[in-house]
């Protein structure tokens, strides 16, 4: 196998990873990412199809994998595994117990696909890496994972909120974004009670209930939100 064949094989694997990781990818984005022409990307996609990968085309949008198609576990390099272990320690500093639990379970699944030698090294690094202030670190909330799901599925959220003056109110909101600050996590949401966007501290939310009702997604990015509401 010559150098060009090796580069192409690596690119095919990387394109397959992109298809697995995202709902839609475009030939333009793939060409930019791998530094090749869109014509080369089309040839690569055709090669993947000919090898049995069910790639579907959404006109004017991009390419996606057929629903239900499973790709064998991706093997991580030692450096990639090490980066995930470092991230694990950072997550342990997080002030939401649901995120810590979910990440720990994800790390276990990642370790399961590592080669035994890399698995041993990852476990060793995990034991030998420590960030300051991990001990006795106060956990502020345990609902972040639920709010992540509500945000991505556009579901209304109902809860009791305790404000800075210790006054309680019942809220129904449309989750828009989640922000991490020194004190913990904030949710940006459109509040149906106040009829405007508000910030909610997760540690002041009680009796959270994800509602079956969906809301219409807000047509703006987080950056556009900041630009529009930064002076409010």
Flag whether 135 is in a domain.
no
Do 216 and 149 fall within a single domain?
yes
pLDDT digits (tens, 9 = 90+) for 83-93: 777 777 777 77
Same domain (yes/no): 36, 7: yes
Question: Number of structural domains, the chain?
Answer: 3
Considering the chain, what percentage of its residues have pLDDT values greater than 70?
86
What integer is the mean pLDDT of 10-30?
Answer: 83
Of residues 184, 110, 106, the one with CA closest to residue 147: 184
Q: What is the pLDDT of residues 25-43, one digit of tens each?
A: 899 989 998 889 999 999 9
The pLDDT of residue 207: 95
Residue 97 lies in a domain: yes
Domain that holds residue 36: 3-65
Same domain, 38 and 7: yes
Beta bridge partners of 199: 188
pTM of the model: 0.58
Between residues 231 and 222, the one the model is more confident about: 222
Q: Are residues 167 and 224 in the same domain?
A: yes
Whether residue 138 lies inside any domain: the answer is no
- Does 139 map to a domain? no
Domain match, 24 and 89 both = no
């Amino acid at each position: 196998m010559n150098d060009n064949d090796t580069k192409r094989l690596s690119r095919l694997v990387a394109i397959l990873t992109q298809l697995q990781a995202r709902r839609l990818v475009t030939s333009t984005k793939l060409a930019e990412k791998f530094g090749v022409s869109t014509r080369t990307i089309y040839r690569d996609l055709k090669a993947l199809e000919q090898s049995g990968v069910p790639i579907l085309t959404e006109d004017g949008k991009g390419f996606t994998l057929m629903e239900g198609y499973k790709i064998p576990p991706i093997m991580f390099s030692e450096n990639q595994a090490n980066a995930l272990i470092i991230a694990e320690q950072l997550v342990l500093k997080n002030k939401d117990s649901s995120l810590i639990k979910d990440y720990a379970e994800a790390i276990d699944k990642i370790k399961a696909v590592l080669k035994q030698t890399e698995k041993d090294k990852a476990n060793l690094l995990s034991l030998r890496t420590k960030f300051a202030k991990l001990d006795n670190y106060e956990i502020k909330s345990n609902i972040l994972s639920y709010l992540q799901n509500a945000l991505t599925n556009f579901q209304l959220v109902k809860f009791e909120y305790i404000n800075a003056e210790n006054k309680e109110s019942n809220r129904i909101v449309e989750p828009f974004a989640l922000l991490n600050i020194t004190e913990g996590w904030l949710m940006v949401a459109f509040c149906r009670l106040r009829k405007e966007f508000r910030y909610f501290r997760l540690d002041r939310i009680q009796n959270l209930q994800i509602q079956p009702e969906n809301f219409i997604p807000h047509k703006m990015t987080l950056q556009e939100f900041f630009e529009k509401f930064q002076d409010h």
